[in-house]
Amino acid sequence: MLDARIRPLIDGPLNRAGAALADRGITANEVTGLALFMGLLAAGMIAAGGPGVLALVPLLIGRLADGLDGAVARASEKTDFGGLLDIVCDFAFYAAIPLAFALRDGGNAVAAAFLLATFYINGASFLGFAVMAEKRGIETAAQGEKSLYYSAGLLEGTETIGFFVALCLWPEAFRPLAVIFGALCLFTTGARLALAWRVLR
């Protein structure tokens, strides 16, 4: 919901930073790997039971790197593999955080499983729509220049990062927050399917 509004504010600085990294010989795939590493480090810190606020540092560094990898690619070379690697690493990160809270406290397991299930369903609708949009030659740049079609929804990257930040700040509230966010993921899936019904049928 917020990605299209955030992109005009962050694209300029990201593109300049990405060009600077590309000039130094750093590749987009290396930045993607850094993003995943930092995200998994944050998840490990959460799972180990440390203060959630400390996990914010690698989490936010990882999300910054995730924004930079596309900028580096645009300044150097965009590849289909790079686009695939980026989305796989994003999904790995999104899965790692709920899993970390389940490992942190077994009482979180049911809420974490529900959240992961809704991520899975929402991700299927997102990627399925992208495949069908590509098949029909439908394009959009509303969420910035991407390697695949990004269908808008109530919950996008900005909202998910905000949700993970909230979990780190208030880890004791994981269960109710996970249930609420999971329900909103299902609403997003339904809205995306309704859009697909209008656009693709």
Q: For the segment 3-52, what is each residue's pLDDT rounded down to a tens digit?
A: 566 666 777 788 899 899 999 999 999 999 999 999 999 999 999 998 88
pLDDT of residue 162: 92
Residue 38: closest CA among 7, 72, 63? 63
> Cα–Cα distance between 146 and 137 in angstroms, integer?
14
Write the DSSP symbol of residue 76: S
Tell me the DSSP string of 84-95: HHHHHHHHHHHH
Convert the pLDDT of each residue in 49-68 to its tens digit: 988 899 999 999 999 999 89
**CA angle (17 as vertex; 26, 126 as ends), nearest 5:** 85
Alpha carbons 159 and 2: distance in angstroms, whole number: 7
Show me where the domains of the chain are located. Answer: 3-200
| Residue range 3-200 in CATH 1.20.120.1760 | yes
- CB burial readout 44-74, b (16+ within 10 A) else e: ebbbeeeebeebbebbbbbbbbbbbbbbbbb
77 vs 201: CA distance, rounded Å: 35
C-alpha angle 134-74-89 in degrees, rounded to nearest 5: 65
Q: DSSP per residue over 136-195, as a string?
A: HT----TT-S-SS-----SS-HHHHHHHHHHHHH-GGGHHHHHHHHHHHHHHHHHHHHHH
Average pLDDT, the chain: 88
Task: Give the pLDDT score at 78.
Answer: 87
Q: How far apart are CA 70 and CA 124, in angstroms?
A: 22
Give the global pTM.
Answer: 0.85
